[in-house]
Structure 1
Amino acid sequence: MKRQPDAQGLPANILAKPIVVTRDQHPISRKAIPEHALKVLYRLHNAGFEAYLVGGCVRDLLLGLEPKDFDVATNAKPEQVRGLFRNCRLVGRRFRLAHVVFGREIIEVATFRGHHEVETDEQSAKVAKADDEGMLVRDNVYGTIEEDAQRRDFTVNALYYNIADFAIYDFANGVKDLNAGVLRMIGDADQRYREDPVRMLRAIRFATKLSMRMDSSVEAPIRQLAPLLQNIPAARLFEEVLKMFAAGKGVANFEMLSDYHLFQQLFPLLKNYIKEPDEAPYQMIRQTFADTDERIRNDQRITPAYLFAALLWWPLQARMEILMAESGLPPVDAMNLAAADVFGKQVQTVAVPKRFSIPAREIWQLQQRMERARGKRIQSLLTHPRFRAAYDFLLLRAKTATPAEQQHLQQQADFWTQQQAKFPGAVATARNAHSAEDSAAPKKKRGRRGGRRRKPRTDSD
């Protein structure tokens, strides 16, 4: 039986009672759960608290996928969790979380979230706060597991694995939707997107990652509400961009984001370059994601520096042309100024840390140096730490060039291919000097499951 909306506007697709999928009815085994996650679950349980694996990890295990993270939900308050674990730290302002740290591995523990009356002014620490657009900016309201399930974003994320009886508690027909391949929102999608516009990006990412189709109610508001992403902190959107384009589904995410007008919000400088799929800029951007996806499939290194160098190349060229025409600057100076301008504008929407923007600018600069190199400068460039990334970028440019530039760029690419064969020692020197990097980035960390540091988030991944 499904719950009807009540006076408080509770989600209509939440079940009156959860469906309990007993241990003999699902494939999840404790052998698939990392040791440290089990340790957290059992310590909470033995201390008299409820303890569940929740959200994305349960969903992925049911699909036979390897979860990135194992998150825990409990009725213990953050301070009580910290009292059980000396290796625990409390994080987050919007919603307080406990991070239990085991070396490089972090198990995130969240207290059940409760219902709230959203207020636009500060009145009480127990009342959530929203901005003028309806986006929640503070949400430290605790409740029961039933309330927590109602606060989840998608039905397939309202799944809880109970360490007490090893059963899965399904509060929103999530298992049914998972089997049907349908991504359905809990509650009114328009309202949920306004509460947190990043949910629009999550809808796209889950659709591509899980090969699911979005329910019509999930996709209908996205184009209209896409501009709400402008209210999201640029640093948070950088993390979302990495999830979108550095996890093996870059092409699919790019195409869906563009179709729903979300990519244009993340990269406003590219708005005019992705209107014509047959044009060189669009082809270069798409090929960048295709190459990155292939590298991830081959377990090769990728780096955001290379991605941003490729994505912002055409805005860089346009700005360079303006600077050279208006000020008569030589190409080297024009590129340096244009690079500062382009990144200065981009970081207003998606923050790009200097550890990535600086290497991206070096990749750009090397395009000019590679074109001018003669004599001893050739071997010097071959030993440059960013040479391999710059060379791959040159190959990308040649592959997606306009007809007017294609022959010239291909000749350059062939020349540098020959030089690497001619001076293998120089290339090896560069590789050894920069062994921590690769042309397309830091290697995808595989380590132990759940073994990555991350920032707090609002919904289950």
Structure 2
Amino acid sequence: MLQAIKRLFGQATTPVSDTVTLTHIPREHHPISRKDISENALKVLYRLQKANHEAYLVGGGVRDLLVGLKPKDFDVVTDATPEQVRDLFRNSRIIGRRFKIVHVLFGREVIEVATYRTGAEETDDEPSGKDAAHVRSQKGMLLRDNVYGTLEDDVIRRDFTVNAMYYTPKDFSLVTLPQSMEDIAQRLIRIMGNPEQRYREDPVRMLRAVRFAAKLNFNIEAQTAAPIKPLGELLEHIPAARLFDDVLKLFMGGYAVRTYDLLHEYGLFKRLFPDTAKILQQTDNASYDRLIRQALANTNDRIAQGKPVTPAFLYAAMLWPVMHTEATELSAHGMPTLPAYQQAGQDALSRQGRRTSIPKRFQISIREIWEMQLRLPQRHGQRAERLVTHPRFRAAFDFLLLREAAGEVTDGLGQWWEDYQEEHVDGRVAMVKKLGAPAGGKRPARRRRRPQ
């Protein structure tokens, strides 16, 4: 596929400015086919065009089709304003303040429609007031960007060259930059414009550079990569809720292990998981790194098999080094093990929530996965059967297997539970009896019935 892309150079071009030129690639010279595009995305494109608006499929969906991947979603860009788009689609709504966009809803599928935008003016005199179109923070972060422009303007303000891709079903052509095609052919992630300025406008672009490099198995171009480590601290000014969403994009896209490596390489992992990063830096904590890597590899496998994945399991693995280390220290100072786990878990989640917020429903699941690690060895009497029917048992059992794979010795506990799940009732009873008396030689006391 990439060899074919190299042959696309030399197509008709249109100047965008003194330094930027657009390449127009006709259908016979690119591999994108309508049959690979969502029917709903095509409906949006056709209706906009029928209403005499320009409309293109844009960005990652086009890029993925070009390199032979199957896009997960499709975005549209148009010269129609958000209000005009909303008027054309009853099944739509305008969202966002920082960037106004329209979501056109087709059941569970959402087609995102954005209006062409022009880049923010390079000036020291920033607009003021609640209606300011371009608004920046004191650190240069772009807080609002709702100045609408032309297709050419929109191309220039794209974040990375590989995302400056526009496809129209009107004549099935592809419109892009020569540099975009060259970077795809050379497998490079290159930011548009001045890297430091673009990262200051939106520090999350550093995470996006890593994500695209991991997903496409591309390298980050040298000048694009150079400012990432020095500017990584800017991520600390991003709202925690937004970073939670970006963590999910980073690790739940099917390429989590390579993402993890790149985040470490560019000094960004410590910006997302500062407590975990500190513990991983200690030479005697290699088992924690193995546990995280195995969790990420398992996540990749489940996604490849079309199985569901949950942020709770991901965060349970990422924060296990923090919780386990602190719980061990509390126990060493005399606190009973379960309360130590509970306090350490609550503290770890609270601190992490200030960096990447974690919804309460996931926090509950995370704590249950951790605390069940203490309950899984307690299999006598009816405990094993109660545990195996617990709604969080499967996740806790999978987490136990992670701990064993990372090198933790559990005296075959994982295999015991594997066998127990495969046994019928009589076999399960026999397995529990074979365990003998609980540690200490005492069987669990029977609960006395209250007098009627």
| TM-score, length basis structure 2 | 0.86
Residue 189 of structure 1 and its aligned partner are, at CA, apart by: 0.7
Corresponding residue for 2:418?
417
1:169 aligns with 2:170: no
Residue 271 of structure 1 and its aligned partner are, at CA, apart by: 1.6
Structure 1 window deviating more from structure 2 (290-299 vs 337-346): it is 290-299
Task: Evaluate the alpha carbon distance shift between residue 425 and residue 134 of structure 1 in structure 2; reply closer, same or farther with a 3 A threshold.
Answer: farther
- Please give the secondary structure, in 2, of the residue aligned with 1:168: strand
Residue 323 of structure 1 and its aligned partner are, at CA, apart by: 3.2
Residue among 267, 271, 275 paired with 1:269? 275
Corresponding residue for 1:301?
308
1:386 aligns with 2:387: no
Amino acid at match of 2:331: M
Corresponding residue for 2:61?
57
Greater RCO, 1 or 2 (C-alpha within 8 Å, sep 6+): 1
Question: How far apart, CA to CA, are the structure 1 residues paired with 2:63 and 2:277?
Answer: 35
Question: How far apart, CA to CA, are the structure 2 residues paired with 1:424 and 1:144?
Answer: 69
Corresponding residue for 1:354?
360
Structure 1 window deviating more from structure 2 (116-125 vs 268-277): it is 116-125
Corresponding residue for 2:49?
45
Structure 1 window deviating more from structure 2 (201-210 vs 290-299): it is 290-299
Corresponding residue for 1:341?
347
Task: Evaluate the alpha carbon distance shift between residue 314 and residue 64 of structure 1 in structure 2; reply closer, same or farther with a 3 A threshold.
Answer: same
Question: How far apart, CA to CA, are the structure 2 residues paired with 1:16 and 1:218?
Answer: 18
Aligned 8 A contact 2:279 2:285 in 1: no
Residue 325 of structure 1 and its aligned partner are, at CA, apart by: 4.5
Question: How far apart, CA to CA, are the structure 2 residues paired with 1:115 and 1:218?
Answer: 19
Aligned 8 A contact 1:288 1:310 in 2: yes
Corresponding residue for 2:262?
256
1:192 aligns with 2:198: yes
Question: How far apart, CA to CA, are the structure 1 residues paired with 2:248 and 2:363?
Answer: 14
Task: Evaluate the alpha carbon distance shift between residue 89 and residue 172 of structure 1 in structure 2; reply closer, same or farther with a 3 A threshold.
Answer: farther
Task: Evaluate the alpha carbon distance shift between residue 264 and residue 424 of structure 1 in structure 2; reply closer, same or farther with a 3 A threshold.
Answer: farther
Question: How far apart, CA to CA, are the structure 2 residues paired with 1:146 and 1:283?
Answer: 47
Residue among 197, 213, 217 paired with 2:219? 213
Question: How far apart, CA to CA, are the structure 2 residues paired with 1:178 and 1:369?
Answer: 51
Residue 164 of structure 1 and its aligned partner are, at CA, apart by: 2.6
Aligned residue pairs: how many?
Answer: 411
Corresponding residue for 2:381?
375
1:151 aligns with 2:157: yes
Corresponding residue for 2:144?
138
Residue 249 of structure 1 and its aligned partner are, at CA, apart by: 0.7
Aligned 8 A contact 2:23 2:175 in 1: yes
- Please give the secondary structure, in 2, of the residue aligned with 1:113: coil
Question: How far apart, CA to CA, are the structure 1 residues paired with 2:396 and 2:211?
Answer: 29
Question: How far apart, CA to CA, are the structure 2 residues paired with 1:332 and 1:426?
Answer: 30
Corresponding residue for 2:36?
32
1:75-97 Cα deviation digits (max 9, x unpaired): 11101111111111000010110
Residue 38 of structure 1 and its aligned partner are, at CA, apart by: 1.0
Aligned 8 A contact 2:127 2:134 in 1: no
Aligned 8 A contact 1:55 1:160 in 2: yes
Corresponding residue for 1:246?
252
1:178 aligns with 2:179: no
Corresponding residue for 1:96?
100
Question: How far apart, CA to CA, are the structure 1 residues paired with 2:111 and 2:29?
Answer: 27
Aligned 8 A contact 1:383 1:426 in 2: no
Corresponding residue for 1:456?
none
- Please give the secondary structure, in 2, of the residue aligned with 1:107: strand
Amino acid at match of 1:111: T
- Please give the secondary structure, in 1, of the residue aligned with 2:94: strand
Residue among 66, 79, 83 paired with 2:87? 83
Aligned 8 A contact 2:378 2:384 in 1: no
Residue 357 of structure 1 and its aligned partner are, at CA, apart by: 1.5
Structure 1 window deviating more from structure 2 (159-168 vs 20-29): it is 159-168
Corresponding residue for 1:395?
401
Question: How far apart, CA to CA, are the structure 1 residues paired with 2:101 and 2:427?
Answer: 50
- Please give the secondary structure, in 1, of the residue aligned with 2:376: helix
Corresponding residue for 1:330?
336
Residue 127 of structure 1 and its aligned partner are, at CA, apart by: 3.5
Question: How far apart, CA to CA, are the structure 1 residues paired with 2:228 and 2:374?
Answer: 41
Question: How far apart, CA to CA, are the structure 2 residues paired with 1:56 and 1:69?
Answer: 8
Corresponding residue for 1:440?
none
Task: Evaluate the alpha carbon distance shift between residue 124 and residue 238 of structure 1 in structure 2; reply closer, same or farther with a 3 A threshold.
Answer: closer
Residue 423 of structure 1 and its aligned partner are, at CA, apart by: 4.2
- Please give the secondary structure, in 1, of the residue aligned with 2:175: strand
Task: Evaluate the alpha carbon distance shift between residue 410 and residue 249 of structure 1 in structure 2; reply closer, same or farther with a 3 A threshold.
Answer: farther
| TM-score, length basis structure 1 | 0.84
Question: How far apart, CA to CA, are the structure 2 residues paired with 1:425 and 1:182?
Answer: 60
Task: Evaluate the alpha carbon distance shift between residue 291 and residue 80 of structure 1 in structure 2; reply closer, same or farther with a 3 A threshold.
Answer: same
Question: How far apart, CA to CA, are the structure 1 residues paired with 2:80 and 2:418?
Answer: 60
